[in-house]
Amino acid sequence: MKRPHPHSKLLCRFGLWVVGAFIVSGCGSDKPDTIPVTGEVLYNSQPVEGASVVFVSEGPPATGTTDAQGKFTLRTFTDDDGAIAGAHRVTITKNVSEPSTPENPYPISKNMLPAKYARPESSQLTAEVGKGNENMFQFQLSD
C-alpha cells in the first residue's frame, strides 16, 4: 500500500485556503464604488407611486422604484447600494398596463408622466452624487 506524502494534508489545506480566499475576494472585482442615494418624486406637487427612476452616467445606471409616498432608494449592483459618484442625467417614468380585452389580448403599457421625463436628453433632470454629500434628491415634475 502506498503511503501519503507527509505534507499532503498541509498542501491540501493550503490549496483549499487559497481557493476560498479567491472566491471571497470576489475574483478581483473591478466594480466602481457606489454611494447610497435616496429621493422623492412629485408630480404636480403629489407623490408618485410606482415610478421608475434611473440615474444615467458614464458608468452603469442606478435604478429605483418609488413607494406610496414617492420615495425611492437607488441600486446599481445590489439592493440599496446607491449610484456611482459623479454627474447623472435622470429619467422618470410610470408605466401602467391597460387590461387586455377580447379585441386586444395584448396589454398596452402607457407612461402616466409627461414623455419628456422618459429620456435623458429631454428630461432636464440632473443629480450630482458625491461622497460626503447628503445624496437625497427631490424631483418636482410638471406638465
pTM: predicted TM-score of the whole model, two decimal places: 0.76
Q: Which residues, in sequence order, are CB contacts of 103 under 8 Å at separation 6+? A: none
How far is the C-alpha of 52 from the C-alpha of 68, rounded, in Å? 13
Q: Which of 66, 64, 60 is nearest to 84 (CA)?
A: 60
**pLDDT confidence of residue 106:** 86
Q: Where is 13: in which H helix or E strand?
A: helix 8-24
**pLDDT confidence of residue 17:** 47
**pLDDT confidence of residue 6:** 52
Q: Which of 32, 81, 37 is nearest to 59 (CA)?
A: 32
**pLDDT confidence of residue 101:** 85
Q: 35-68 as b/e, with b when 16 or more CB fall inside 10 Å?
A: bebbbbbebeeeebeebbbbbbbebebbbbbbee
Digits of tens for pLDDT over the chain (143 positions)?
Answer: 555 555 545 444 444 444 444 444 445 568 899 999 999 999 999 999 999 999 999 999 999 999 999 999 999 999 999 999 999 999 999 999 988 888 888 888 999 999 999 999 999 999 999 999 999 999 999 99
